[in-house]
Structure 1
Amino acid sequence: MTYKENNIIENYLLQQDKIFTSDDFYKFLKSEGVRMSMSDAIDILHMSDYVFPLVNDEYITRAGIFTGYVFSFKPSKEEVNKGVFLLGHRCMPFINPETAPDSISVMAHGAIIKSSSAKISMNLAMDTFSLYGEGYAIPYIFNDKKNKLSLSSVRYSMPTEMRLTVWPLDKITEDGKFCYGDRVLCRVINWEESLVEMMRHPCQTDSLIVSNDAIEREQWYSDFENSLLASFDKLGPMNSIEEQLAYIFLENKIKLCTKNPGSVEEFLEHTTKIGFEPYGVESRIWKKGESVPYIGEWNKESIKSDFIMSQIAMTFTPRVIDAYIENLIYDNIKNKKDDSEHDFSDLVDLIFPSVFIMTQAERRLVLLNIEKRHDILKRNYNRFSDYPVAEIRKRILKLFSQVNELLGAIGHPSVKIENFPQQELAILSQLYSHVVHLLEEVENVFLRNHFPVDEVSLSLDGMEETFEDICVPLSCVLESDRKNGFEIVKNDSIELEDKK
């Protein structure tokens, strides 16, 4: 798929705000000159994070769900005292999940409100970014464009406060006054641009009378809680808290998109049944005090094939393949080797887990494509721009190969995936996704000069230690299956290379 074709598809999925069918999508692609089969078009719809399947071959995009959606949040005392508000996760899941909180466009009274910066306590920052989940909240906070501290510079203790992007509270009111207890009522104006209209919703202060607004919000919290509990049984823990919330608001839009909605962060303070629970190296919103399962009624029929095939499919991303090839080019230049006659079979074996069997014809095709890609990358290779990231890429690739091999072994048809410890399975799947994401980032030539080597190195320390921890129990189950007469992988066992 060309860059132009990819843009055509992405723009459609970002802008389409009406319900459509796969046939509508396919006809649009044809009209724009995109060559693609109907089955490939359907695959794109099912794989896209921007699209939700409905019934009768109908689909709706996030833009279709959330454009015009009304939601709210209540600023904290600290924010009201400082006259500003922080966004953090408060627009989740109503805006594009790819938009950083500090890049959201805020409108009031028909005009865009300019953001500024303010010192915010770390406690408030952590609370206001908590829906990004454990392991992600802190990076989101430190990546705020108004923050000048690097994450790698605060290894041993967090600062008590940080300078973050904020917006003035007085700009969203008619009279310039905003009191603690007042709410910010929000409406998505343009989903693609992450443009949100905001206005003050005053608190009714008569303590002797329970306001209609308060009664309506209590009903909202009750509806939201019931919707969440039902989703746990139907959908299980999804790929992220954000995705879980997106489905909740999609399936319960009539009940939850009201004139007086509550907020997710207030709900979590309000409920006794639901809270943040650990899920592998991340966290999810789940039944309070219960372990978040990896396998359940929602996926037990499909987990066997999905677990391995969905992961291995990620291996075929162009940037992952490029990372291996550029690592080879870098090593050959560093070691003064001539790779003009290089046999790429070893590279294919390194990229794909040993359990992944290819026919001779498939292997020849893969080898041919890798050889062609190698020639292109070598011709345009710039050792000076690659040098700053070459060693960290090598380290990422080493971890990727180890995770990939273990994942492939667990996905073998003779292995019963339900026999494995569920938290370790969740961690393995998450590690795979995280490592692939790092490879995608390190191979983004437009961001290479700004690749956060120190921060990634720190993150890799934890990922490598985590893999060591989970490798033992997972490999024990594999070894048990092998002793029961199953041939799991070509190698006798999964061995973890010593860290260098």
Structure 2
Amino acid sequence: MTENQEDALYEFLENNRDPFTLEDVMGFIRLLDFSRNNRLAEEITAFIDSQNIAFRLEPGRWVSRRGCFEPLHFVISPTRPELLNGILIPGHRCVPFANPMLYPQEYRFFYKGSQIPFSSIEGPPEEFYPYYTIFGEEYAPEYVAKDNPNNESAFNSDPYEDPPEVSIQTLDMRNLYRELAFVPGDRFVVHTRDWREGYFDLERVGREEWSKVDLYAWLEAAEGGFEGSFKSLGPGSRTEEQIAYAYWYGGKRMRDVPAYSLEDFLYEQTDRIETTPYGMETRFWFAGKEIPDRNELEGINAQSPVEEILSRSGAPVSEYVVQAYVCDALFRRDKDISALMKRIVPPSVAIEEKDREYLTRFVTELMSEFEPIYSPFKDSAMGPIRQRMGELHTAVIDLAARLHKGDINTSWLPKHTFIILSQIKDHAEGVLDDLNTDTPPEEDELDALDNSLDSMIETYEDIKELIDDALDSFRQNNLSVVKRVKSEGLEWRILQVSLGGTDVWRRLILPESCRLKELHGIIQALLGWKGEYAYHFALEEQNSRDRGGSGRLELDSALGELDLRGGNSFLYEYGSKWTVKILVLSRYEPEEQPSIRCVAGAAAAPPEYIDGPMRFRRYITALERGGVDAERELALRELGQDFNPEAFDLDTCNRKLASVLIGEQ
């Protein structure tokens, strides 16, 4: 699709409330853009389904998000601080019943036909972050910053520290709370009047008006909806996407009242869904489970020959990004096409000669087309940011390509390596796309882009340093010996042990002859636990269905004897709260005297008596807040005064492992 055709598709979806067919949307697009495209039908279908911007009813037939969520109802439960201050902070409360292109301060709320006026409240930004975390915990500062220009300037003044105070636009609810005699526990039923514009009507519901039976039915539908979303989409591209599809898979019951508010459901009511780290971001996921790694950079939905070539070669970008690289060359005053090609397709990326020739002709034509109309004066503000962002994008593509060449076994790389690289690549492409314009963004927006670029470069350098360390460990293989065994006749494996719902993981090498009851002791040593609770090993649910039982594995089974039913992982369930995912990675060719040892890992494991990953994360959050409050004091008491969530030392881990293994001899 052309850029105009893509814009027309989004316009169609934002305005359409009824189920539509492929022919409907093609007709609308061709009214606005007559460009010939023999693959338009195929491209529209692929774009809608790959971007998850509409819900599929059947092949060739969808309903838009507006059509799904307007004019339905959902629930907002005001917090005690909001009631005390006579305000309501929209924040994340309208997801997914509002257009995701709108910011919360753009919503409009009405009561009995009259718009509720706005007010504001001041305070430290961390006081407001909880009202935005459903967008993703990592995005809460961005939403607070975007609330008003003063906030944005305050955040941009120091990208590494939050400002001491910000101001948030709120709804002025003082008169309405008094009129409705609103008390803690009461709710607002919210009617979605206009999904596209973000218009909502409020109606009070008393805390005792809905039966627990009806609320439980909604809870069951919601948990099923989220689990259906995870199984269908995986982690998705953003939390908003996960939530939109959760409401879709939750069916009519989830999209109706009586209901819990979304934040009450996610943070108070369910024990089956929780937030989980995912690279640099967070997602909602099965409680206590780990999101599976993806071991490659995501491609794009290739829509043109150029995009197909780049995707096939391992440098998957859109034509818009290629255009940004051409603008960058003009900004550099560098007309060397070969140098430009090396930035778009780094030397480490394998590309067939005929494809390189086609791409070179395309880039040369773009240069000839852009050069007469390019204005260095107009590009003076955007150019430096585009140049740095392009260099970062090239570096990520180059690093990923070198890792994929097979110089080392990627099992040695830090956890989530490719996920983090993919996220940096996607963010960089988003910025390059935003800067592919003749109209420079406002100064505050450019400052924000520049600051986000600093953060992305820092993250890239951190992950590259970790990768370099892993490469050194792999090549030198000079780790301390823990237990010597004869290698003759033994196959060795690399296993990754990840504590569900946390950032804690360890990677180890051990022989396939290791039995599960021995692996239990090894995991206990890796996590610093004492073995005080019952445990068992089991297949993951999807791999155990045909067993007709719980999928439990025999403790006398050796690793090499396990039947994982086509999968590559199994679970270690310890006590009633902890689930450890064991990912069986590649085989390992040991040196002459191999050793069972830990080769990589991250984060300090929680004490085993903590009440599960959700409680552990809340303690970590309390520690990070600083200051003195009851929750922080409890966290210090439960975790220990010297607990450092980021602490992991490979030598210490192997000493603990050695003491266990020596004791077994």
Q: TM-score range by the shorter chain?
A: 0.7 to 0.9
Q: CA deviation at 1:90?
A: 0.6
Q: What does residue 287 of structure 1 align with?
A: 286
Q: CA deviation at 1:375?
A: 3.4
Q: 1:4 to 1:440 in 2, by over 3 A?
A: closer
More divergent stretch after superposition (426-435 vs 173-182)? 173-182
Q: CA deviation at 1:352?
A: 2.0
Q: What does residue 331 of structure 1 align with?
A: 332
User: Identity over aligned residues, as a percent?
Assistant: 24
Point out the structure with max Rg over C-alpha.
2
Q: Which runs of 5+ in 1 are unaligned?
A: 205-210, 296-302, 333-338, 485-500
* Whole-angstrom distance in 1 between the partners of 2:71 and 2:243: 17
- What pairs up with 1:74-473 in 2 under 5 angstroms? 74-119=77-122, 122-145=125-148, 147-148=150-151, 149-155=153-159, 157-159=161-163, 161-169=165-173, 175=179, 177-204=181-208, 212-267=210-265, 268-295=267-294, 307-308=298-299, 313=311, 316-332=317-333, 342-354=335-347, 356-410=349-403, 422-450=415-443, 452-471=445-464
Q: CA deviation at 1:435?
A: 1.1
* Whole-angstrom distance in 2 between the partners of 1:459 and 1:65: 34
Supply the AA of the counterpart residue of 2:169.
Answer: T
SS of residue in 1 equivalent to 2:82: helix
* Whole-angstrom distance in 2 between the partners of 1:138 and 1:178: 30
Q: What does residue 497 of structure 1 align with?
A: none
SS of residue in 1 equivalent to 2:184: coil
SS of residue in 2 equivalent to 1:118: strand
Q: Which runs of 5+ in 2 are unaligned?
A: 303-309, 476-585, 590-665
Supply the AA of the counterpart residue of 1:307.
Answer: E
Conservation of the 8 A alpha-carbon contact between 1:354 and 1:408: no
Q: 1:447 to 1:175 in 2, by over 3 A?
A: farther
Q: CA deviation at 1:183?
A: 1.3
* Whole-angstrom distance in 1 between the partners of 2:161 and 2:412: 39
Supply the AA of the counterpart residue of 2:362.
Answer: N
* Whole-angstrom distance in 1 between the partners of 2:367 and 2:217: 60
* Whole-angstrom distance in 2 between the partners of 1:40 and 1:310: 8
More divergent stretch after superposition (60-69 vs 18-27)? 18-27
Q: 1:401 to 1:146 in 2, by over 3 A?
A: closer
Q: 1:186 to 1:138 in 2, by over 3 A?
A: same
More divergent stretch after superposition (417-426 vs 428-437)? 417-426
Q: What does residue 16 of structure 2 align with?
A: 16
* Whole-angstrom distance in 1 between the partners of 2:455 and 2:327: 25
Supply the AA of the counterpart residue of 2:321.
Answer: V
Q: 1:67 to 1:414 in 2, by over 3 A?
A: farther
More divergent stretch after superposition (54-63 vs 42-51)? 42-51
* Whole-angstrom distance in 2 between the partners of 1:31 and 1:383: 35
Conservation of the 8 A alpha-carbon contact between 2:125 and 2:144: no
Q: 1:138 to 1:413 in 2, by over 3 A?
A: same
* Whole-angstrom distance in 2 between the partners of 1:446 and 1:116: 33
Conservation of the 8 A alpha-carbon contact between 1:22 and 1:58: yes
SS of residue in 2 equivalent to 1:294: coil
Q: 1:29 to 1:142 in 2, by over 3 A?
A: closer
Supply the AA of the counterpart residue of 1:391.
Answer: P
More divergent stretch after superposition (450-459 vs 393-402)? 450-459
* Whole-angstrom distance in 2 between the partners of 1:124 and 1:80: 15
Conservation of the 8 A alpha-carbon contact between 1:294 and 1:423: yes
Q: What does residue 503 of structure 2 align with?
A: none
Supply the AA of the counterpart residue of 2:381.
Answer: P
Q: What does residue 208 of structure 1 align with?
A: none
Conservation of the 8 A alpha-carbon contact between 1:172 and 1:200: no
Q: 1:399 to 1:67 in 2, by over 3 A?
A: same
Q: 1:212 to 1:47 in 2, by over 3 A?
A: closer
Conservation of the 8 A alpha-carbon contact between 2:20 and 2:63: yes
1:58 aligns with 2:49: no
Supply the AA of the counterpart residue of 1:460.
Answer: L
Supply the AA of the counterpart residue of 1:202.
Answer: G
Conservation of the 8 A alpha-carbon contact between 1:220 and 1:256: yes
Q: CA deviation at 1:403?
A: 0.5
Supply the AA of the counterpart residue of 2:87.
Answer: V
Q: What does residue 490 of structure 1 align with?
A: none
Equivalent residues, number: 461
Q: TM-score, normalised by structure 2?
A: 0.62
More divergent stretch after superposition (189-198 vs 110-119)? 110-119
Q: What does residue 300 of structure 1 align with?
A: none
Q: CA deviation at 1:150?
A: 2.2
Which structure would you say has the larger RCO, counting Cα contacts within 8 Å and 6 or more residues apart? Answer: 1
Conservation of the 8 A alpha-carbon contact between 2:187 and 2:205: yes
Conservation of the 8 A alpha-carbon contact between 1:275 and 1:287: yes
Q: 1:430 to 1:346 in 2, by over 3 A?
A: same
* Whole-angstrom distance in 2 between the partners of 1:459 and 1:275: 27
* Whole-angstrom distance in 1 between the partners of 2:323 and 2:120: 39
Q: What does residue 74 of structure 2 align with?
A: 71
Q: What does residue 630 of structure 2 align with?
A: none
Q: 1:82 to 1:140 in 2, by over 3 A?
A: same
Which whole-Å deviations, capped at 9, do the CAs of 1:133-159 have from their partners, x for residues lacking one?
Answer: 132110111110264452133556535
* Whole-angstrom distance in 2 between the partners of 1:234 and 1:394: 38
Q: CA deviation at 1:440?
A: 2.0
Q: 1:195 to 1:418 in 2, by over 3 A?
A: farther
Conservation of the 8 A alpha-carbon contact between 2:300 and 2:317: no
SS of residue in 2 equivalent to 1:278: strand
SS of residue in 2 equivalent to 1:386: coil
* Whole-angstrom distance in 1 between the partners of 2:157 and 2:144: 14
Q: 1:23 to 1:353 in 2, by over 3 A?
A: farther
More divergent stretch after superposition (135-144 vs 224-233)? 224-233
Q: 1:412 to 1:278 in 2, by over 3 A?
A: same
* Whole-angstrom distance in 1 between the partners of 2:149 and 2:190: 23
Q: 1:183 to 1:3 in 2, by over 3 A?
A: same
Q: 1:56 to 1:376 in 2, by over 3 A?
A: closer
Q: TM-score, normalised by structure 1?
A: 0.81
Q: CA deviation at 1:174?
A: 9.8
Supply the AA of the counterpart residue of 1:264.
Answer: L
Q: CA deviation at 1:282?
A: 0.5
Conservation of the 8 A alpha-carbon contact between 2:185 and 2:207: yes
Which whole-Å deviations, capped at 9, do the CAs of 1:320-360 have from their partners, x for residues lacking one?
Answer: 2233223222222xxxxxx6xx4412212210244655555
Q: CA deviation at 1:91?
A: 0.7
Supply the AA of the counterpart residue of 1:232.
Answer: F
